[in-house]
Amino acid sequence: MLSTVEKIIFLLAVLASLYGASRVALRISRIIRRGQGKVDWSLVPSRLVTVLLKTATFAPVFRARPLPSLFHGLVGWGFIYYLLINLGDILEGFIPNFRFLGEGVVGNVYRLGGDLLSVGVLSGMIALAVRRFVLKPPSLTAREEVFLLPEARAGIRRDSSIVAGFILIHVGARFVGQSFRIAAHAPDVWQPAANALATLWQAWQPSTLVFAEHVAFWLALGTILAFVPYFLYSKHIHLIMAPINFLLKPQRRSIGELSKLDFEDESLEQFGVLRLEELGWEQIMDAYACIMCYRCQEVCPAYNTGKVLSPAALEINKRYYLNKEGARLAKGEASPQTLLEIAIPPEAVWACTACGACIDICPVGNEPMRDILDIRRALVLMENDFPDQLQTAFRGMERTANPWNIASAERLNWAQGLNVPTVEQNPEAEILWWVGCAPATDARAQKTARAFAQILNHAGVNFAVLGEAEQCTGDAARRAGNEYLFNELATANVEMLNQVAPKRIVTTCPHCLHTLKNEYPAFGGNYQVVHHSQLIWELIQQGKLRLSDTASNEGGQSLTFHDPCYLGRHNGILNDPREVLKAAQRPLIEMQDHGRKSLCCGAGGAQMWKEEEHGNERVNAARFRQAQESGATTLAVGCPFCLTMLSDAAREAQSEIAVLDIAEVVLQRIAR
């Protein structure tokens, strides 16, 4: 189809495009390599099939916003298919009388797919453009008080316009070009949409149609060649970076698992992160993978209650800063500004509840929460800069090994009058119950501990507790950035637990569960850890715990369950607590946000020990309002922090909804 001159021009354009793109790609590669850590290539074989399926189906995208996700899917699937279409069009342009994939079944199906997906891409892109530029939903931007670099706030709209324009011109020109081709030659039943469009050009002269086909070819493929170098600067690069992100992201036991800092390495001068190049390589890559969809912001409990934290703004700021200062980083120079100056302000850093919702919902595998916690580490360890209220919790963990600052000798006071043996009294226990600081020291949480003790005794479980030997796991210290304190507590706890050598550990606190199960292995502690809801469900299934069915006779009684972040989202324990509650009381009503999408209670990320950052509502109040809207008469929880926060919210709302731990609900239903 192309003349000799056109072929030469096209090849020169390809070389120029590839040269420009290669320079940008090399810079991005050097920037990512500035990050800390090394890629574990051994992960690739086991992940490859899963990543290919995710990429092909866009499954992560469909977890939210179903209609926009469908439009995005149409664009994405079509764009992937266009890799084949563009190859075919180039070959047809360079080889005379060549028909890509022939006129047989394969060729027919290929052309049908191209026709349908062209319509799909154009429809999807127009819908997305109308949504972004006409409807302008709040979910596609950040509030004015949220920190966004000036170039980011101005650039997002510009870059979205360029990307939308490119897709519409590229796909639209190719689609119209096919209609010119059909009009110039013969109808093609395998391209129904282009066939219908071709009827508009039937009166045109053959020479005009040939010229129009050439123009369409250059518009379709010329825009590709012009766009490729810019493509690597735009958010469109997520097409490449998202699969790489899923393929190479470090292996983690949980989305909340943090890396261990080596305080014995005297060569280290920096703990935590203050500058871009101090982030892990995968955290830098997150900025390039970000699609700027704001889904992470949409589920962030801090943002949704008026705080200035936006995990999306963090990644977007990183990206635009890299576009601006990337050449400096690629050369090995230090960032002239800190992340607190170019990515996220201190107030936003301390507003994070470490709930993991941003990581869980991200369709490209980004982890903004990890950046925030790494920044906290640097602020605490290097700058000694953190909210004053945390000092009390730190001091308590340092002096008495619990943030309540209760003496170890009082650690078993809650168990008075109950049969709660220690490991010294029962060294052959089948279950070691890690009571946790809250159930051992907080008056409200002690009721949970007493209820669970009675359940264990009723079921005849052979268990023991550590008693005075138990101390804080260090979860609050680690989430607050005090990694050194966490290191001290974890090291001591692992040494003690390895001496006890528990067969299984049960705990009523998801934060303890997460730390013991997912973070202590880095310190040499590998344990089988279960939540008390899991053990209770196991006992019910084994027939060791029988619950009465009187709940079905109590009219008007209903129950809803709040999924603790570190139980459901971080550790995937979703069904066991529900099965227990269904066995104990019916009906079970789900709140608006539940399961992995549960809204945080507001206590995580060490928020329990500090004043909540300024906003228009407290997080626990927002969550309790969802419980009220469910219409349930009882709110069940599975975490002592959630119990405190939601009990406070119920009291402030002057609500009659009863807030109970799962163990308390079960104890009410034990058949006696």
- Where b means 16+ CB within 10 Å and e means fewer, 299-337 reads bbbbbbbbbbbbbbbbbbbbbbbbbebbeebbeeeebee
Supply the pLDDT for residue 1: 77
Q: d(Cα 436, Cα 424) in Å, to the nearest integer? A: 18
For 530, the enclosing helix (H) or strand (E) is strand 529-531
The token pair at 155 is 């650039």
Our CA dihedral for 263, 267, 273, 279, rounded to 10 degrees, sits at -110
Highest mean pLDDT among 143-157, 221-235, 417-431: 417-431
Q: How does pLDDT run across 489-516, given as a tens digit for each residue? A: 999 999 999 999 999 999 999 999 999 9
Supply the pLDDT for residue 550: 58
Q: What stretches of 232-274 show up as alpha helix (H) in DSSP?
A: 238-248
Q: How does pLDDT run across 243-255, given as a tens digit for each residue? A: 999 999 999 999 9
User: Under CATH, what is the fold of the domain 1-38+252-385?
Assistant: Fumarate Reductase Iron-sulfur Protein; Chain B, domain 2 (1.10.1060)
State the CATH architecture for 393-540.
3-Layer(aba) Sandwich (3.40)
Q: How does pLDDT run across 368-381, given as a tens digit for each residue? A: 999 999 999 999 99
For the stretch 157-160, contacts whose Cβ atoms lie closer than 8 Å and that sit 24 or more positions apart, written own/partner, are 157/133, 159/234, 159/235, 160/132, 160/133, 160/235, 160/292
Supply the pLDDT for residue 553: 45
Non-local CB neighbours of 368 within 8 Å, separated by 6+ positions: 286, 296, 311, 312, 314, 315, 358, 359, 362
Average pLDDT over residues 65-80: 95
- pLDDT greater at residue 186 or residue 536: 536
Q: How does pLDDT run across 382-394, given as a tens digit for each residue? A: 999 999 999 999 9
Q: How does pLDDT run across 205-238, given as a tens digit for each residue? A: 999 999 999 999 999 999 999 999 998 888 889 9
Q: d(Cα 358, Cα 298) in Å, to the nearest integer? A: 9
Q: How many CB atoms lie within 10 A of CB 113?
A: 16
Predicted confidence (pLDDT) at residue 528 exceeds the cutoff of 60: yes
For the stretch 203-208, contacts whose Cβ atoms lie closer than 8 Å and that sit 24 or more positions apart, written own/partner, are none
Average pLDDT over residues 308-314: 98
Q: How does pLDDT run across 595-626, given as a tens digit for each residue? A: 999 999 999 999 999 999 999 999 999 999 99
Give the domain ranges of the chain: 1-38+252-385, 62-138+162-232, 393-540, 545-669
Write down the mean pLDDT value for the chain: 95
Q: Please answer whether residues 386 and 480 qualify as being in contact, where contact means their C-beta atoms are separated by less than 8 angstroms.
A: yes
Predicted confidence (pLDDT) at residue 551 exceeds the cutoff of 60: no
Supply the pLDDT for residue 235: 86
Supply the pLDDT for residue 285: 97
CATH code 1.10.1740 for 545-669: no
Do 1-38+252-385 and 393-540 share a fold? no
Average pLDDT over residues 424-443: 96
Q: d(Cα 664, Cα 651) in Å, to the nearest integer? A: 19
Predicted confidence (pLDDT) at residue 451 exceeds the cutoff of 60: yes
Residue among 498, 503, 491, 516 nearest 436 (CA): 516
Q: How does pLDDT run across 74-101, given as a tens digit for each residue? A: 999 999 999 999 999 999 999 998 999 9
For 221, the enclosing helix (H) or strand (E) is helix 206-231
Predicted confidence (pLDDT) at residue 174 exceeds the cutoff of 80: yes
Average pLDDT over residues 268-272: 89
Average pLDDT over residues 41-68: 95
Confidence of residue 552 (pLDDT cuts 50, 70, 90): very low
Confidence of residue 584 (pLDDT cuts 50, 70, 90): confident
Average pLDDT over residues 195-213: 93
Confidence of residue 555 (pLDDT cuts 50, 70, 90): low
pTM score of the predicted model: 0.94
Average pLDDT over residues 24-52: 95
The token pair at 540 is 């019910």
Under DSSP, the state recorded for 581 is H
